[in-house]
Chains A and B, each alone.
Chain A
Amino acid sequence: MTNWAILSGIEGNLAAYEAVLADIKRQRQPIEELYILGDAIAAIPESTNVIQRIRSPRPDEPVPQVCQGWWEEQLLILHGLGRTGEPTELIERYGIEMVKTLWDAIPREMVEWVRSLDFGLFELDCLLIHGSSVDVGDELTPDTPAIQMLDRLMRMDANMLFCGRSGLTFQYEIQQGSVTSSITTLDQVTTPQAILVKPRQVIGVGNIGRIPGQATYTLYNPYTNHIEFRTVRYGSGKGFQPLKDKLFPPLNNRLMT
């Protein structure tokens, strides 16, 4: 029985990622697949530690499969490797000074790894992606109109779409639907046909690193379609610091393993 852990938005927060990895190991059903839906990095130097940790899973950990997120795309744009030439979105959102901050935060040798990441991952009938099939910055939320959700699913003909852009955990089920379609051309008129939609879902997988001390991620069983949202509290403020120190060696030691 395969179980997946799906997470997004580590945003350079290694402690949060470690806490989630520990929570994954605790699961009664072993987790065989680990998907990271982008934003592993943010504009902080600690992002390099996260990249190294992702690239060096321990023997008892699943090998993470990673796709690009919004921060990864901004980094690639800065290095002339993005789909647009100017970091317009980065500047609009965080100001011009963020260009240098992000540039300085991620060393050049890490950029190639970021560049190697896919835009999205497709497994079985599931699309795993940071934003959506439209754009890495496309933010799907529980309030997104149903027709828009359906469009994002149908663009890739996916039954399940896992996304992380909003940082929220939610399960959005399109249970059924129909529309009557008819087409007139110069040569013929088709009789109206009822087109039905099959059930499909969009899952917001949560966010690992944005809120200090609290990480959210998702467990999924592709054979039963069971979804479980996990909230992991970590750090000294939550009373977990002594245990964490026991479990994990100091940062510098960890990077050498």
Chain B
Amino acid sequence: MKIAVMSCIHGNYEALNAVLSDIDDQNADKVYCLGDLVGYGPHPNAVVEMIRALDIPTCQGCWDEDIVEGLNSCECSYPSVLAEKRGKVAHDWTNQVIHPEVREYLAQLPLSLRDDNLCFVHGSPHNQHEYLMPEVDAFVAMERVLATGADILFCGHTHVPYVRSLDVGQLQIRVKLTGKSEPQNTSFSAPLKRIVNAGSVGEPRHGRPNATYVIYDNDTDQITLREVEYDYQKTCAAIIENGLPPVFAWRLSKGLEYAERADDPTHVCER
């Protein structure tokens, strides 16, 4: 069975349509979405309506949460003051145009989904805002998969797709308790675990403007990163026409993050 997983559509209807067509072409049997349906892009309502109409199982992303709960994250959510300022403009715009039933739909989305030995989250199992970058320490990455009890953890949020395999993990431990003279030696081992980042449909940051998603074939255990061309200029034009910050159109056309990265991508805002 082929399972398509996509994330971070960000109100980009053109990109969503292109990815859905590609999923059809690949004969995927199931589709999952990892959230961030809205934000940055010009068509948040149309994107949500499409996801709902197709009944695609979806978990809540950080942008979806912010539209429901109101912006409540600290400055750590943005890599710079400039990025924060533009992010707030996008939030306010989205907040104004979003339909009430769309907001209700976003509010009821679960934080994670499960399908047999697969787990689906937006950021990490611990928090929607946590970035599981490919360079995160291997043991930290392994803990995130093990925390779910799954073998493969699908996530998004970073907008850059990757597959990370973590194999033959082992730890040697010695525990000493008060009153017991002999310490106890134990070991821990974990079989192959994987993190699959689905990239971003509507706001890619891998260096090209194409939409990205992944397909997992559980018969062959193959994971394929998909890159889909579409008419991104149409979305760029709509961004500008709707009064969203033009830099979002520039960023979309380049497939790049325009600001520096956060100092600590694993930091989780607790506010």
Q: Which A residues lie at the B interface, using CB under 8 A?
A: 83, 134, 142, 145-148, 150-151, 154-155, 168-187, 192, 195, 197, 206, 216, 229, 231
CA distance A231 to B179 in the complex (A): 10
Does B118 belong to the interface (CB within 8 Å)?
no
A216 closest partner in B (C-beta): B178
In the complex the two chains form, is B166's CB within 8 Å of A184's CB?
A: no
CA distance A151 to B168 in the complex (A): 17
In the complex the two chains form, is B188's CB within 8 Å of A185's CB?
A: no
Shortest distance from the beta carbon of A135 to any chain B beta carbon, whole Å: 8
B266 closest partner in A (C-beta): A155
Does B20 belong to the interface (CB within 8 Å)?
no
Q: Give residues of chain B (130-152) contacting chain A, Cβ–Cβ below 8 Å.
A: 134, 137-143, 146-147
| A83-B171 in contact given A146-B188, A181-B165, A185-B162 (Cβ < 8 Å) | no
CA distance A186 to B134 in the complex (A): 13
Q: Which B residues lie at the A interface, using CB under 8 A?
A: 126, 134, 137-143, 146-147, 160-178, 183, 186, 188, 190, 206-207, 212, 223, 225, 227, 266, 270-271
In the complex the two chains form, is A186's CB within 8 Å of B227's CB?
A: yes
Q: Could you list 9 A-B pairs, sorted by A, with CB under 8 Å? A: A146-B186, A147-B171, A170-B177, A177-B188, A180-B166, A181-B165, A185-B162, A186-B225, A216-B178
In the complex the two chains form, is B173's CB within 8 Å of A172's CB?
A: yes
Interface of A is mostly: strand
Instruction: Return chain A residues, CB-CB under 8 Å to B138.
Output: 179, 181, 195
In the complex the two chains form, is B142's CB within 8 Å of A185's CB?
A: no
CA distance A147 to B191 in the complex (A): 13
Contact among B140, B164, B166, B172 for A151, CB-based, below 8 A: B140
Most buried by A among B160, B183, B186, B188: B188
In the complex the two chains form, is A142's CB within 8 Å of B177's CB?
A: yes
Instruction: Return chain A residues, CB-CB under 8 Å to B207.
Output: 187
B145 closest partner in A (C-beta): A147
In the complex the two chains form, is A183's CB within 8 Å of B163's CB?
A: yes
Contact among A148, A151, A173, A195 for B175, CB-based, below 8 A: A173
| A147-B177 in contact given A177-B172, A179-B138 (Cβ < 8 Å) | no
Instruction: Return chain A residues, CB-CB under 8 Å to B166.
Output: 179-181
In the complex the two chains form, is A171's CB within 8 Å of B175's CB?
A: yes
Instruction: Return chain A residues, CB-CB under 8 Å to B177.
Output: 142, 168-170
In the complex the two chains form, is B160's CB within 8 Å of A185's CB?
A: yes
In the complex the two chains form, is A195's CB within 8 Å of B176's CB?
A: no
A134 closest partner in B (C-beta): B126
Contact among B163, B164, B173, B223 for A173, CB-based, below 8 A: B173
Instruction: Return chain A residues, CB-CB under 8 Å to B206.
Output: 185-187
CA distance A145 to B171 in the complex (A): 10
| A147-B190 in contact given A142-B177, A170-B175, A175-B173 (Cβ < 8 Å) | yes
Shortest distance from the beta carbon of A215 to any chain B beta carbon, whole Å: 13
In the complex the two chains form, is A175's CB within 8 Å of B225's CB?
A: no
Instruction: Return chain B residues, CB-CB under 8 Å to A155.
Output: 140, 266
B144 closest partner in A (C-beta): A151
CA distance A173 to B266 in the complex (A): 24
| A192-B160 in contact given A169-B177, A186-B227 (Cβ < 8 Å) | no
Shortest distance from the beta carbon of A176 to any chain B beta carbon, whole Å: 5
B167 closest partner in A (C-beta): A180
CA distance A241 to B266 in the complex (A): 51
> Nearest 6 CB-CB pairs, A to B?
A177-B171, A179-B169, A151-B143, A181-B138, A195-B138, A146-B188
